[in-house]
Chains A and B, each alone.
Chain A
Amino acid sequence: MRVVIENISKTFEDGTGEHIEALRDINLSNEENEFLVVVGPSGCGKSTLLNIVAGLLPATSGKVVFEGIPDESRPHTAVVFQEFALFPWRTVERNVVYGPEERGLPRKDRQKIVRYYIDLVGLTGFEKKYPHQLSGGMKQRVSIARALANDPWLLLMDEPFSALDAQTRTIMQGELSQIYEKTQKSVLYITHNIQEAVFLGDRVAVLSRRPGRVERIIPIDLPRPRQEHIMLEPRFLSYVDQIWQHIRGQAMEALTEEKP
């Protein structure tokens, strides 16, 4: 299985009829079991790209192709959103079971799946809680479990930890890394945080500012399993610095530009 993003461009029309080019000619591929991170300054259209891959937004031109999918029984993608997007009227386990429920799996299989993924993200004991009773980090765990429980070919994550505080974020990055190593899912991960990109990614695609273009693709040659202390190693830091040099100027531009 391989996901190919071919010549994707996206132009929005804003309220005044002005055209805003968000993405230009994006070419990327997500290999099987690969953790691909897209990093870029704010306003580079990286979330737009994820939404296009998820089928939640039409591209202006270009296409997204899933190659080598043997049958259509499994969904192509599942999304973990920055805002968690949990159903507030469903308990933790009922949130996680949502995808299998929609796929019409028998009750027994559903229960097995739910138990497995709730355990995987460390939510055992919280099954009957409602989202509003959970902290941000716990909510995002539910959201990750919910996406994984649907067994997608590609897991899409749209700045999943941006709404969390710095400490929770570090912990969640470590946990996500472990979950990835355990499940060997293909992941497309969007972030503006360079450390996070290097820590999690097998490859990091750096997007330029609007219109978003793929500026560079940097393979991250760091051993797995990765643990937090890797963030202190010179190799890690040199990757971070390398990416920062690409983004810095554009981030400065983004800072001084008026909101469109």
Chain B
Amino acid sequence: MSRDRQPLAETVVQDKTVFMIRREHRLISLIFILGLFGVWELIARLGLVSPLFLPAPSAILVTGYKMVLSGEIFHHIGASLWRIFWGFSCAVIIGTFVGILLGFFSVAESIGNPIIASTYPIPKIAILPLLILWLGIGEYSKITVIGLGVFFPMVINVYTGVRNADPVLIKAAISLGSNPQRIIRKVILPSALPMIFAGLKLGIGIALLLVVAAEMIAADAGIGFLILTSADLMQTTKLMFGISILSMLGLIFSWLIDRLEKLCIPWKK
């Protein structure tokens, strides 16, 4: 090796995955949303669009504030929540039960699966007129249509969860002395919990959708009713406030279910 050799050219190895790093841009999210509302406000203030079609965000807030003060909004939220509560909770209980039956017992499976496969694709709102015919125009028909909508994703998810329970865990339980009933309770049910929660998340979205649809067809209270009548009376601010309430309800529901999931499934990574 000669002592007076040229310095070697150096190439330092670069990280080639830099573009894959995903950062959270909270500030950008916030600025963008605020900007969007700002532009909207500006368009409305400048009178570029009639407030009948696009009221300013501030006008919507003012209307909302008035509706809160008068209690009118709570009347509608209460009516919708009440329907969602009964429809959703009945469907969750029955759906979970049926899902376990279908997943665990082959006879139930061969009876239930064709029925579910053929009724699942029906848009549930199409059944509402029939339900009104059977159950009357009151609350039962609305609760039932919500229940039907939630029932299917629950059954299908619970069924899948039960069928996918790890066979080696079932074997372990048998070898430790569990009988079939206890296996359902102590192995199958906890195995299916993540899928049950997936069903809840799907179901609550459907419940919100159906309650609005049902209230638009036949109701004298509820968020769906509020939105429809406000549109008829050209009260666009009220209409838009109703829509924002729906957005908020959706967020609150999924937050609640997420919290409940963390509480019920502490072993989930």
Contact = CB atoms under 8 A, between A and B. Distances in A.
Q: Is B a genuine binding partner of A?
A: yes
Interface of A: 54-56, 75, 77-79, 81, 83, 85-89, 98-99, 102-103, 130-132, 146-147, 150, 156
Max count, chain A CB within 10 A of own CB: residue among B176, B186, B190, B193: B176
Interface in B182-196: 182, 186-187, 190, 193
Nearest to B266: A130
Given A81-B168, A83-B168, A102-B182, A88 B267 contact: yes
B177 A150 contact: yes
Nearest to A132: B269
B176 A99 contact: yes
A81 B171 contact: yes
Interface of B: 166, 168-169, 171-178, 182, 186-187, 190, 193, 265-267, 269
A102 B168 contact: no
A102 B172 contact: no
Contacts of A83: 168
A100 B190 CA distance: 20
Contacts of A75: 176-177
Contact of A103 (B168, B174, B177, B186): B177
Contact of B190 (A55, A87, A103, A132): A87
B267 A89 contact: yes
Given A79-B175, A132-B267, A85 B182 contact: no
A240 B262 CA distance: 51
A147 B176 CA distance: 7
Contact of A89 (B172, B173, B175, B265): B265
Given A87-B187, A89-B265, A89-B267, A54 B175 contact: yes
Contacts, number: 57
Contacts of A55: 174-175
Given A85-B168, A87-B187, A77 B267 contact: no
28 contacts: A54-B175, A55-B175, A56-B174, A77-B175, A78-B175, A79-B172, A81-B172, A85-B166, A85-B168, A85-B172, A86-B172, A87-B172, A87-B173, A87-B187, A89-B190, A89-B267, A98-B173, A99-B176, A99-B177, A102-B176, A102-B177, A102-B182, A130-B266, A132-B267, A146-B176, A147-B175, A150-B177, A156-B175
A56 B193 CA distance: 26
A14 to B, nearest CB: 18
A56 B171 contact: yes
Contacts of B193: 89
A83 B173 CA distance: 14
B171 A79 contact: yes
B269 A56 contact: no
A151 to B, nearest CB: 11
A175 to B, nearest CB: 21
Contacts of B175: 54-56, 77-79, 147, 156
A66 to B, nearest CB: 15
Contacts of A77: 175
Nearest to B182: A102
A98 B169 CA distance: 12
Nearest to B269: A132
Contacts of B182: 102
